Structure 1
Amino acid sequence: MCGITGIFHPRSPDRPSEALLRRMNDIQFHRGPDEGSVHIEPHLGLGHRRLSIIDVATGQQPLFNEDGSVVVVFNGEIYNFQELAQELEAAGHVFRTKSDTEVIVHGWEQWGANCVQRFRGMFAFALWDRNRQTLFMARDRLGVKPLHWAQLPNGAVLFGSELKTITVHPDFPREMDDRAIEDYFAFGYIPDPRTIYKQAHKLAPAHTLLWKVGEPAPRIARYWDVSFEPDGKLSLAEACEQLREKLTESVKLRMISEVPLGAFLSGGVDSSAVVAAMAGLSDSPVKTCSIGFDVVSYNESEFARMVADRYRTDHYTETVKADDFGLIDRLASLYDEPYADSSAIPTYRVCELARKRVTVALSGDGGDETFGGYRRYKFHVREQALRDRLPAGLRHALFGTLGRIYPKLDQMPRMFRARATFQALARDAVDAYCHSVSILRDDDRALLFSPEFRKRLGGYRAREVFHEHARRAPTDDALSLIQYLDYNTYLPGDINTKVDRASMAHSLEVREPLMDHPLVEWAARLPSSLKLAGGEGKLVLKKALEPLLPNDVLYRPKMGFAVPLADWFRGPLRGEVQRVLKGDTLAGTGVFDAGMLARIADEHLGGQRDRSAMIWTLLMFERFVAGQDGRAAPGSGSRPEPAETALHA
């Protein structure tokens, strides 16, 4: 696991500044504290920070082919590298290391841009081919590893694992993207390929970027997509057997390591499944860790202990106080752009805990998307069944009216909060799902934003992100469609972003067995009835795990990784809410209606409405804006590292 960065001059053979490249590389020291190197030649400079996991002795980067004409910097793991290395050696390629990185340079030589089709893993890499005068970049299929890029006004191209490697460049323009702000306040994150800045982009999951010297722009192409064509011949029993086999294979591939390895164990189905598979493959006790909370309603540690006891893992738990809000400023700087998933706090803490004992941890991320585990999936499928029974005109008239006149009852039990359901039923499937997952819904954002900002948006709405993906969706099945939307938005934009930044902040590598793309492809072809049936999500996964895990783990209500925001904002952070929502920073952006900001604070603090999600979203945006105004000097915060090397061609 590492951090990569670089500078590319497509218009001229200029050599990038070594001092600037080192600054860009060092600002992500946390991603790779073991080693750091740069390579510079005409047109190009590459930087790499290394966290040594595989081939610790000889896997340094940047890494070259035999004659030095192809060089790569790489973040991630290619899990099938041993199999690929054998195939490439048989084709005549000579390997100098035992690292997975080397299969990328030889794979490029052998297969060109199609090499990414052969890689099984999580990856983001940048490769330079001097003979072809070509820069080639790629990101893994599900967006586990990040990659950002930007072109400066002078034509120079910057790229890196984290956005801070780009923004540290003194010539980078920091103008915010209005559409990204709209997206952020809808979703709590900024979906690919946007970033908060107009001039910077994320390379989207399952995409490559190829840029030849002399060409004015890159060629960006999608190389993979998930298909939901159902295999109706598979019975539940057959699916369970195949799932156990595929899970075991995926976990086994991710247990290859030359450094201490363990797993997160939350007590939920997904992490418990991973630990059960690891225990069956390991001769020694699996190292597991979990965090508990000092508030019972948020604490899952007893269920983690059940699994740990069953498999006699080397288990370690730490209790986190429910008032662990001291991380707010740290999180704001960690994500480089506004990011509002409050579960980033416990995720940061569990990564911090894991790093005390291991360098690599396996997680259960991706299980809900792959096997239909979110509660919102159940509600959406039920609502869609009703939509399908009623003509669109009748739905819009009936439920649209009810959605407008029914009062908001945020404090009442869910059965009485019908307004959101009425609003969803009045919409089509895509708009309804976007409505259900939005932190701030359309009407909330319309009130929150100033008239000037709404005018600047020019009619753009965040739901267009979902519609763009839905137009490409290879399915019209109610469950499969929203799984597809989550694969392209929530999973890479929220979940994977959260885990990558939290783990890399502690120089911890996290691996993701339930996002193995062959497993995802197999699960996508299962009929939806094997994933969601009778209100039970992840049916096939739970049935497959019945011989391996306690029923109390498999069939208890889902808790999630939550924090008590509402209590924080009415208690110890009350003054902070007043300062942020009634202060100058947010008002000075021109984005918000100042009166509405004050009203949000008063309604929440007065107990009239629960505005905690909206306040957290505003709080994290305020921290980002304040950081832009008073940001540290470029390169500050990086640590000196005596093993720095530079390679010049």
Structure 2
Amino acid sequence: MCGIAGLYYPAIPKPVDPARIVQMTDALVHRGPDGSGVWATAGVGLGHRRLAIIDLEGGVQPMATPDQGVVVTYNGEIYNFQEVRAELEAKGARFATGSDTEVLLHGWRAWGPRMLDRLNGMFAFALYDASAQSLFLARDRFGVKPLHYAELSDGAVAFASELKGLLAHPLFRRTPDFKAVEDYLGLGYVPDDTSILAGVKKLPAGHFLLLERGKPVPRPQRWWDIDFSKRATGKVRDLEAELLDMMRSAVRARMIADVPLGAFLSGGVDSSAVVALMAEASKAAVKTCTIGFDEADHDETAYAQMVAERFATAHRTRKVAADDFALIDTLVDAFDEPFADASALPTYRVCELARESVTVALSGDGADEAMAGYRRYKFFAAEERARSLLPQELRTSLFGTLGRLYPKADWAPRPFRAKTTLLALAENGEHAYPKAVGVTGPALRNALYSDAMRKALAGHTAEQRYTDTMRQAPARDGLDRAQYADIQHWLPGDILTKVDRASMAVSLEAREPLLDYRLVQFMATLPPSLRIKAGQGKWLMKKALEPYLPKDVLYRPKMGFVTPISAWFRKALADEAAGLGRSKLLQSTGWFDLHAIEKLAADHKAGRAEHGRTLWQLLMLERSLNRLFG
């Protein structure tokens, strides 16, 4: 795993100072502590920081063909590079290294942009073609690896793995994007196609950008998309066997490394499945690690230990305090942009623990989105069935009235929190689901904003991108559309950003076998009844894993990395919450009504309302703005 950065002048080939590229890559040293390199010529400069994983001696970057006609700087892993290499060698290509990087050079000459279709991996790379004087930027199907870019005042297009690589360039101008603040408060993260800084873009997952000399910067082009519109046929037993075989293949492909390798083991279904299949494929004990909490309600170490003993792994556990919020500033530095998924704290800790013994760790991320593992999918599917029984006008009248009359009770057990469900049933699925997956709802956001902010947003809402995506999804039903939208937005914007930044902060490569695109596409074809059945998400996957894992692991309620942020803001962080209402930095933005924020914190501390997640968002926003503009 690595960090990449560079400059390209699309209008005229201005000279590139290699020292400027070094400044940008030095900001990414945590992504690649094992080496660095720069390649530059008139009009283009490519930089690289290397975390050596495969071909430790030969995989130095930037890497060029012998004639310097094609040069690449690359972050990621191509898991099927040996098969692609064999195909290229049959075409006459001659390889000088054993690195997967070299496949990109010969692949470009053989196939151009269509080489992406042959790659199975996680990647973000920049490839310069000297004969065409073009720069090709590409990102993997799901957005496992990040890539930011921006146009500078001297005409250059600058790119980098992380925002901090762009910030290191002296011509980069820091101006906040207030629309990204709305997106962040609504969703909990700055979406994957925008940035907290105006002018910065993220190359979307499954897209490429071809920059050509003498032409304006174009829009990114999509080169791959998931399809939920097809349905697999066959006996359940046969589909189960096919699913397991694909999972097994995906795990084995990601066990190739020339450095120590292990796995995260939370005790949940997904990470336990990965460990089980790793143990099946490994002669040595699999190295596993688990983070536990000192509060029983948040601790899953007993389940992780059960799996570790079952597969005789070399297991390590470390417990952290449930109030482990000392990492806040570390996370702010790692993420650059505001990021409100509090599970980033334990994710960082488990990466930190893994890095003590391995350089590569396999995770279980991806199956929840592809196989409907989150509880919200079960509730949404039930709502969709209810919507299908009544016409829209009747639902709007009946459930809308009941929802408005029903008291709001965030503090109550879920069965008694009917207000949200009633209001959701009054809407269609494309409008209801984005609110269900969001963090701070439209009404509360609107109450927190200043008059000037509300006017400036001019109707822009965080939920609209979800609604548009669900409407346009290649899908058959509401569950399909919800999963498709999550794969487009939630997966790259939240889950994969969290894992990438937390792992790279400690120079650890994280691999996600359950995001093998062939496996995910197969999961997307499974009928909804095989994704959710008898109240169980990931039903077919769990059935396939019954010979491997205890039922206590497979069928217990999903917990995930739960962080007790609501309790923090009533106790240890209560003063921090109150301070948000007096923040000079937030006041200087002109975005917020500070009296509304002050009341929000007071109501939460007194137990009159539940605002823990919103307070966490505001705290992380303030800290991030302070880092970027303070």
Provide TM-score, normalisation by structure 1.
0.96
How far apart are the structure 1 equivalents of 2:229 and 2:217?
35
Contact 1:212 1:218 (C-alpha < 8 Å) held by counterparts: no
Give the equivalent residue in structure 2 for 1:347. 347
RMSD between aligned residues: 1.0
Alpha-carbon shift at residue 178 of structure 1 (Å): 2.0
Give the equivalent residue in structure 2 for 1:383. 383
Give the equivalent residue in structure 2 for 1:547. 547
Give the equivalent residue in structure 2 for 1:186. 186
How big is each residue's C-alpha offset from its partner over 1:289-311, in whole Å with a ceiling of 9 and x where there is no partner? 00110000000000001110000
Structure 1's unaligned 5+ residue stretches are 631-649
Give the equivalent residue in structure 2 for 1:291. 291
How far apart are the structure 1 equivalents of 2:15 and 2:406?
64
**Superposition map of 1:542-581 within 5 A:** 542-581=542-581
SS for the counterpart of 1:182 is helix
Alpha-carbon shift at residue 403 of structure 1 (Å): 2.5
How big is each residue's C-alpha offset from its partner over 1:384-425, in whole Å with a ceiling of 9 and x where there is no partner? 111111111111222222222322111111111111111211
Quickly say closer, same or farther: Cα 1:442–1:476, change in 2 above 3 A: farther
Are 1:330 and 2:330 matched, yes or no? Answer: yes
SS for the counterpart of 1:66 is coil
How far apart are the structure 2 equivalents of 1:126 and 1:472?
30
**Superposition map of 1:36-435 within 5 A:** 36-435=36-435
Are 1:537 and 2:537 matched, yes or no? Answer: yes
Contact 1:72 1:126 (C-alpha < 8 Å) held by counterparts: yes
Alpha-carbon shift at residue 197 of structure 1 (Å): 1.4
SS for the counterpart of 2:316 is strand
How big is each residue's C-alpha offset from its partner over 1:59-88, in whole Å with a ceiling of 9 and x where there is no partner? 000001231110000000000000111111
Quickly say closer, same or farther: Cα 1:235–1:121, change in 2 above 3 A: same
How far apart are the structure 2 equivalents of 1:583 and 1:294?
32
Paired residue type of 1:377:
Y
Alpha-carbon shift at residue 6 of structure 1 (Å): 0.4
How far apart are the structure 2 equivalents of 1:65 and 1:232?
43
Contact 2:430 2:471 (C-alpha < 8 Å) held by counterparts: no
Q: Percent identity?
A: 51
Give the equivalent residue in structure 2 for 1:633. none
Alpha-carbon shift at residue 476 of structure 1 (Å): 3.2
Are 1:585 and 2:585 matched, yes or no? Answer: yes
Give the equivalent residue in structure 2 for 1:645. none
Give the equivalent residue in structure 2 for 1:497. 497
Question: Post-superposition, which runs of at least 4 consecutive aligned residues in structure 1 deviate over 4 A?
Answer: none
Give the equivalent residue in structure 2 for 1:605. 605
Contact 1:38 1:62 (C-alpha < 8 Å) held by counterparts: yes
How far apart are the structure 2 equivalents of 1:54 and 1:456?
50
SS for the counterpart of 1:288 is strand
Contact 1:211 1:219 (C-alpha < 8 Å) held by counterparts: no
How far apart are the structure 2 equivalents of 1:266 and 1:492?
21
SS for the counterpart of 1:217 is coil
How far apart are the structure 2 equivalents of 1:230 and 1:108?
31
Contact 1:230 1:527 (C-alpha < 8 Å) held by counterparts: no
How big is each residue's C-alpha offset from its partner over 1:586-608, in whole Å with a ceiling of 9 and x where there is no partner? 12211111121011011011111
Contact 2:580 2:598 (C-alpha < 8 Å) held by counterparts: no
How far apart are the structure 2 equivalents of 1:302 and 1:575?
35
How far apart are the structure 1 equivalents of 2:578 and 2:253?
50
Contact 2:448 2:593 (C-alpha < 8 Å) held by counterparts: yes
Paired residue type of 2:409:
L
Contact 1:269 1:553 (C-alpha < 8 Å) held by counterparts: yes
Paired residue type of 1:391:
P
How big is each residue's C-alpha offset from its partner over 1:497-524, in whole Å with a ceiling of 9 and x where there is no partner? 0000000001000001100000011111
How far apart are the structure 1 equivalents of 2:167 and 2:532?
44
Deviates more, 1:5-14 or 1:576-585: 576-585
Are 1:472 and 2:469 matched, yes or no? Answer: no
Alpha-carbon shift at residue 91 of structure 1 (Å): 0.6
How far apart are the structure 2 equivalents of 1:125 and 1:578?
44
Deviates more, 1:170-179 or 1:42-51: 170-179
Alpha-carbon shift at residue 154 of structure 1 (Å): 2.7
SS for the counterpart of 1:570 is coil
Alpha-carbon shift at residue 219 of structure 1 (Å): 4.5
Alpha-carbon shift at residue 317 of structure 1 (Å): 0.4
Alpha-carbon shift at residue 584 of structure 1 (Å): 1.7
Contact 1:158 1:166 (C-alpha < 8 Å) held by counterparts: yes
Paired residue type of 2:404:
R
Structure 2's unaligned 5+ residue stretches are none
Alpha-carbon shift at residue 273 of structure 1 (Å): 0.4
How far apart are the structure 2 equivalents of 1:479 and 1:146?
28
How far apart are the structure 2 equivalents of 1:140 and 1:185?
27
Contact 1:362 1:510 (C-alpha < 8 Å) held by counterparts: yes
How big is each residue's C-alpha offset from its partner over 1:604-641, in whole Å with a ceiling of 9 and x where there is no partner? 111111210000000000001111233xxxxxxxxxxx
Alpha-carbon shift at residue 382 of structure 1 (Å): 0.4
Paired residue type of 2:297:
S
Give the equivalent residue in structure 1 for 2:442. 442
How big is each residue's C-alpha offset from its partner over 1:175-213, in whole Å with a ceiling of 9 and x where there is no partner? 112221111000010112111112000000000000101
Give the equivalent residue in structure 1 for 2:512. 512
Give the equivalent residue in structure 2 for 1:33. 33
**Superposition map of 1:473-488 within 5 A:** 473-488=473-488
Alpha-carbon shift at residue 578 of structure 1 (Å): 1.5
SS for the counterpart of 2:376 is helix
Contact 1:15 1:45 (C-alpha < 8 Å) held by counterparts: no
How big is each residue's C-alpha offset from its partner over 1:335-354, in whole Å with a ceiling of 9 and x where there is no partner? 11111000000000000000
How far apart are the structure 2 equivalents of 1:259 and 1:460?
47
How big is each residue's C-alpha offset from its partner over 1:353-375, in whole Å with a ceiling of 9 and x where there is no partner? 00001000000000101111000
How far apart are the structure 1 equivalents of 2:47 and 2:452?
42
SS for the counterpart of 1:453 is helix
Alpha-carbon shift at residue 477 of structure 1 (Å): 1.2
Aligned pair count reads 630
Alpha-carbon shift at residue 232 of structure 1 (Å): 4.6
Alpha-carbon shift at residue 128 of structure 1 (Å): 0.3
Paired residue type of 1:8:
Y
How big is each residue's C-alpha offset from its partner over 1:481-512, in whole Å with a ceiling of 9 and x where there is no partner? 11100100000000000000000001000001
How far apart are the structure 2 equivalents of 1:219 and 1:89?
34
Alpha-carbon shift at residue 433 of structure 1 (Å): 0.5
SS for the counterpart of 1:588 is helix
